[in-house]
Structure 1
């Protein structure tokens, strides 16, 4: 029998121990380009540790998982932050554990992210690889490229099943406050 982990809504406060939430609501913003564009400024920092490296932009295309969502491993990037921003405005699942050499099942946290929220994992934070929901989904990813081992994977001590809130089906497309 798998351990059960209940996903809760993604908020800045709840996610703060693991990184930053990327969303326009509550962000510093101001008009630019002669007033034709609103800039939501510095939503997260890009952290690059270790040997000389550069920040890169990529698109990850995630295949959807279907409930019940079963987890078997986590990964971490010890030399830099890694940010995900959904491009298709679909909800997705975020599973994290605090940074460190390892983790226990009791360290896991699950968040249901809305389609207008991104996340930036702090360096060393354990997280599950991309968990798209509903349909194939594209994500803009900002992370580190350069020398050094920047990806560690570890199996979970036991299988974990993530419980999605009943309202999660189709509810992740609503925008939060701007």
Structure 2
């Protein structure tokens, strides 16, 4: 069994997999008469195919016990998927590049800071 250690999620460490969604960075400005702050262009949603569309869903997950034995990963070849937490708790992100045999490649794990999300 291969053991992997989760690294802190940063834009630099996650760049090869997708976008980090958070309120860091310089691309924000006041809107609505100064009553709100817009954090602009944080990620790009993608949908491929003739009937493709971008949609928004919510998922309520159950925490895993650690150490975690990874037995399954999802693959979304026709569109991106974003995870934006509604609570200020960190969460584990595990991603893989495509493998040589149409299966997943080596897993990479990241732990978010409170308030961070991802899009990939």
TM-score (normalizing by structure 1)? 0.63
CA drift at 1:28: 0.4
Q: Is the 8 A contact 1:10 1:113 kept in 2?
A: yes
State the partner residue of 2:119.
Answer: 120
Partner SS for 1:61: coil
Change (3 A) 1:52 1:58: same
How many residue pairs get aligned? The number is 118
State the partner residue of 2:103.
Answer: 102
Q: In the TM superposition, what whole-angstrom CA distance separates every residue of 1:7-44 from its partner, at most 9, and x where no partner exists?
A: 11001011011110001111400110011000000100
Q: Is the 8 A contact 1:86 1:116 kept in 2?
A: yes
**Counterparts of 2:17 and 2:98, CA distance in 1:** 8
Q: Is the 8 A contact 1:22 1:120 kept in 2?
A: yes
TM-score (normalizing by structure 2)? 0.92
- Specify every segment of 5 or more residues in structure 1 that has no aligned partner in the other structure, as ranges: 122-178
**Counterparts of 1:35 and 1:99, CA distance in 2:** 45
State the partner residue of 2:35.
Answer: 36
Q: Which has the higher strand share?
A: 1
Q: Which runs of 4+ in 1 moved over 3 A?
A: none
State the partner residue of 2:52.
Answer: 53
State the partner residue of 2:18.
Answer: 19
Partner SS for 1:57: coil
Q: Is the 8 A contact 1:27 1:43 kept in 2?
A: no
Q: In the TM superposition, what whole-angstrom CA distance separates every residue of 1:103-126 from its partner, at most 9, and x where no partner exists?
A: 34xx211001122100001xxxxx
